A and B are shown apart, each in its own frame.
Chain A
Amino acid sequence: MMDFITKKNLTDLDMGFVLDRLSLVSPYGERHRRSLKPFKSEAAEALDREYDKLEAMIALFEQRRADVLRIKEELKRIKLLDGSFERILQDDVLTETELFEIKQIARTMLTILELQNLLQWQNRIGEHQLKSVALILELLDPENSGTQAFHLYSAYSDVLCEIRAQIERADVEMKRYKMKQIEALADEGYPVQPNGDIRIKSFETDLLDRAKNDERLCYKSELPLYKLYTVKPSQNLTQLKESLLLKEEQEEYEVRSQLTKALKENLETLTSNTDAISWIDLLIAKAQFSIAFRCVRPVLLNTEEVVMKGARHIKVAIGLEKQGKTFTPIDVSLKNSVTLITGANMGGKTISLKLIGLMISMAQYGFFVPCDFLSFKPFDYIFISVGDFQSIDMGLSTFGGEIVEIEQAIKRSNEYGLILIDELARGTNPLEGYAISKALIEYLTQYRSKAVITTHFDGLTEVMHTTHYQVKGLSDIDLSIVRERLNQHGVGLLHEYMDYRLVEVSQTKEIPKEAIRISELMGLNKEILDRAKEILGGSNDE
């Protein structure tokens, strides 16, 4: 099975630009973006369901914006816990921090679930409703405190509870013992402080000797002016406490081990919820994208035809907006196997070609499209040959590189593909280029796939069963006005007079001679211009 589209072609079509504009806020959503799969031709039904879901999501977003945004806020709190989930599966024992994080994710899931219920998510969207996490929360909040905090609660085990009570008793006894010692020592004339420290000045040698030999005291530290002794804790009590602490640690390990086992039984809930979260995140982001870029739902057809109206290239449009200009929407229909786009250089042919590919790939990746209308039948693959692909590794020339890729694409003749080729054979001598192009177009007309080819070769449009579009260019404009404006403001304004719309023309219409028109506009010597027109006329007569 061949790819739907290569990574390089996705880049050529600026799909990355579209994906980057999805505002995904959870690590699971982010991962979903990176592994997004297209719906191929055989998955047309699933694609239509995906559109249903997105349509429902957009409606939900528009009606309940604040609540949907609250879900998004909660999604931001989700952390990637796959490492811990894997450890649960491997029967490792989770650490306290990991247990805390699972409690936290479960609490967030509960909030999202409550918001979903509030929005009647299941009814309206139909999928990706989170499963109940009540059992997990019960497990990690045994005291039912309802707080985010976590520690190994005494409630987990009677043994742990008992050990901790013993530790507390030992602490009390140790304090009591110390107080008793302090009282006794004070009675014997030691300068003992409330915290049990005894500070003896260096010159009080008698007292120092006494302290040194007193078994109830231990040496603490020496400062230049005095020595510090402190009450020695009872050895029995200290040993008792240390053994209790050891027991506590062992029992805590046991508790963590039990908790991990119990979580293993609920692992499916957690992983299916993180999967649902990745979908929720993506769906909300797609809805926001659709609203922001005024996208429409594509209509899926059973017939092999593409109709596109008012299509906008959002990347180019954003670029133009920054310069205070607007993008001219494009209308185009692919009825025949081969559609040709002709027109002057800098007439936007390449953008139109890419735009067709981008709209179809967005649609097949489950997006709504920035058009006024789009209907199509899902393709098996998309191929675009654009720009230069001189392959340094293989030492091929520009043309050779182009041919290798095109050959790959047309080999899939039993599939329904969208084949987009920009300026075929532009790197070769015009005669050969024309011959090869014509042969390829004739070949492609026999197949199901839709090919769109931009070219400036005259005569290619005569091939039967092709549709022919022309960039409108400068044809309808009063040249004398333009000339005056250009004289005042410079050639840079030329593109403002270009009409980038595509117009369907009859097959035999020849390619407009924009170069002559532009030369005329720019004031080239009239004698030269007349001669050029004469030469052109002559060649047409041949």
Chain B
Amino acid sequence: MKLIDLFEAQERIISIVGMAKNAGKTVTLNHLIESFDENGFRVGITSIGRDGERTDIVTKTDKPMIFVKKGTLVATSEMLFNLSESKMEILEVTDYQTAMGRVIIGKALTEGFVQVGGPTTNSEVRMICEKMCAIGADFVLVDGALDRTSSASPAITDACILSTGAVISRDMYKTVDLTAFKASMFSLESIDDPMLLSAWEMAEASGKPVLVESDGKVVPLSEVVTAIGSGKLIADQIAEETVAVLIPGALVTQTLKDVISVNKSLQWVVADATRLFIDYKDWLYFKRVGLKINVRYGMQIKAVTANPYSPQGYYYDSESFVSELQSKIVGIPVFDVMA
């Protein structure tokens, strides 16, 4: 099976998020652009924040630029637009400001390399993607920058691809474990209990955490503005009848720990996996104690791409890397994009 075969018409906006820099995100992006082009689809490209530079600004390693085909739509900042090697036609100058000028939507008249630096906020990225779809893109690819896994949020994109690579650790098994952990967070199931769904609407409207009791009664938490650092406050208000905690904002490890010390059997719900800030070790602990976490908006993780080479010079055996990943990540296909 090929990577491109996974895409369906209803998921038009796809983000590519990396576990780390140099995990092979740009290679995946170029691979997808080429495959879409070969299959007769028009593709649009943008990023959240700056990306696509020749040299990676953070780690100073060589990095492939994004190579676009004739007809590809590109949304990038004014300054980078003028640096593109591909000859571009201007389709729209948007009002979205970046540090490098306004975001311009262009169409490639010739093939060549481009630099992509899209809008800086999630909602602007979504608007730009929708504009490109309206102009005629069949699919839009969003290059997520470092630490911007938020672009994978279902509020921004319809589906995502997770890029992982040897850069994460010299120990292949550690890389596999960390990737599997991220993938399992991204594939957390969404709630379908009508009682929780209606309670979620209240939590989302108020922007504040709520508790749900066994008979469906919704108890808004008093004095809790966000869930960060408010675990003890939540713990204090948990009653015998409480069955679920709904958090419309971010959920961090400490909050969970504070509440678990009081009650281990609660059902937790967050908006989506990008709102969870829990590291691997804590995740293992929470799983051991049987913590139940679900999301309101499920994410479509389409594939995991693996890069067995690290810019530090070491590498894994491609075949065993892919097969190890595949054995730990059930139901999501893994591809080696460097092969």
Contacts and interface: CB of A to CB of B under 8 A. Distances in A.
Given A97-B93, A148-B92, A224 B107 contact: no
Interface in A96-155: 96-97, 100-101, 104, 148-151
Contacts of B107: 149
Interface string B186-230: 000000000000000000000000000000000000000000000
B313 A151 contact: no
B78 A149 contact: no
Given A100-B93, A101-B93, A151 B88 contact: yes
Interface in A146-169: 148-151
B78 A97 contact: yes
Contact of A224 (B81, B90, B104, B309): B309
Contact of A97 (B90, B313, B314, B338): B90
Nearest to A171: B110
Contact of A149 (B81, B89, B309, B338): B89
What band does the interface of chain A fall in when counting residues whose beta carbon is under 8 Å from B?
A: 10 to 19
A223 interface: yes
Contacts of A95: 82
Interface string B54-92: 000000000000000000000000100110000111111
A224 B313 contact: yes
A104 B91 CA distance: 10
Contact of A223 (B78, B81, B88, B309): B309
A282 to B, nearest CB: 22
A100 B90 contact: yes
A225 interface: yes
Contacts of B93: 97, 100-101, 104
A224 B82 CA distance: 36
B315 interface: yes
A97 B104 contact: yes
Interface string A209-221: 0000000000000
A101 B81 CA distance: 15
A215 B24 CA distance: 31
B89 A151 contact: yes
Nearest to B62: A221
A215 B129 CA distance: 46
Nearest to B314: A224
Contacts of A151: 87-90, 109
A96 B90 contact: yes
B109 A224 contact: no
Contacts of A100: 90, 93
A497 B109 CA distance: 76
A149 B104 CA distance: 11
Contacts of A149: 89-91, 107
B284 to A, nearest CB: 31
Nearest to B316: A224
Nearest to A164: B87
A96 B109 CA distance: 15
A525 to B, nearest CB: 49
B3 to A, nearest CB: 18
Nearest to B107: A149
Nearest to A153: B89
Listed residue (A97, A101, A223) with the most chain B CB atoms within 10 angstroms of its CB: A97
A221 to B, nearest CB: 8
A95 B81 CA distance: 12
Interface in A455-507: none
Contacts of B90: 96-97, 100, 149-151
Contacts of B81: 97
Nearest to A222: B313
Interface in A73-102: 95-97, 100-101
B78 A148 contact: no
B221 to A, nearest CB: 31
B117 to A, nearest CB: 15
Most buried by B among A101, A104, A149: A149
A386 B316 CA distance: 82
Interface string A176-205: 000000000000000000000000000000
Interface in B261-309: 309
Contacts of A101: 93
Interface in A34-83: none
A97 B78 CA distance: 8
A95 B309 CA distance: 42
Interface string A262-296: 00000000000000000000000000000000000
A225 B313 CA distance: 11
B309 A148 contact: no
Nearest to A221: B62
Nearest to A245: B85
Nearest to A147: B91
A101 B104 CA distance: 11
A454 to B, nearest CB: 48
Contacts of B104: 97
Contacts of A225: 315
Nearest to A95: B82
Nearest to B89: A151
A160 to B, nearest CB: 12
Interface string A239-257: 0000000000000000000
Residue with the greatest number of chain A CB neighbours at <10 A, chosen from B81, B89, B104, B338? B89
Nearest to B309: A223
Contacts of B78: 97
A20 to B, nearest CB: 22
A486 B123 CA distance: 55
A218 to B, nearest CB: 16
A57 B81 CA distance: 44
Contacts of B338: 223
Contacts of A224: 309, 313-315
Contacts of B91: 148-149
Interface string A390-420: 0000000000000000000000000000000
Nearest to A168: B110
Contacts of A104: 93
Contacts of B314: 224
Interface in B91-132: 91-93, 104, 107, 109
Of A95, A101, A151, most B-chain CB atoms within 10 Å: A151
A189 B338 CA distance: 24
A149 B93 CA distance: 10
Nearest to A101: B93
Nearest to B308: A224
B11 to A, nearest CB: 27
A307 to B, nearest CB: 48
A109 B315 CA distance: 60
B83 to A, nearest CB: 13
Q: Give the 10 A-B residue pairs with the shortest CB-CB distance, closest first.
A: A224-B315, A151-B89, A100-B90, A149-B89, A149-B91, A150-B90, A223-B309, A101-B93, A97-B78, A97-B93
23 contacts: A95-B82, A96-B82, A96-B90, A97-B78, A97-B81, A97-B90, A97-B93, A97-B104, A104-B93, A148-B92, A149-B89, A149-B91, A149-B107, A150-B89, A151-B87, A151-B88, A151-B89, A151-B90, A223-B309, A223-B315, A223-B338, A224-B315, A225-B315
Interface of B: 78, 81-82, 87-93, 104, 107, 109, 309, 313-315, 338
Interface of A: 95-97, 100-101, 104, 148-151, 223-225
Given A95-B82, A97-B78, A151-B87, 12 more contacts: A97-B104, A101-B93, A104-B93, A148-B92, A149-B107, A151-B89, A151-B90, A223-B309, A223-B338, A224-B309, A224-B313, A224-B315
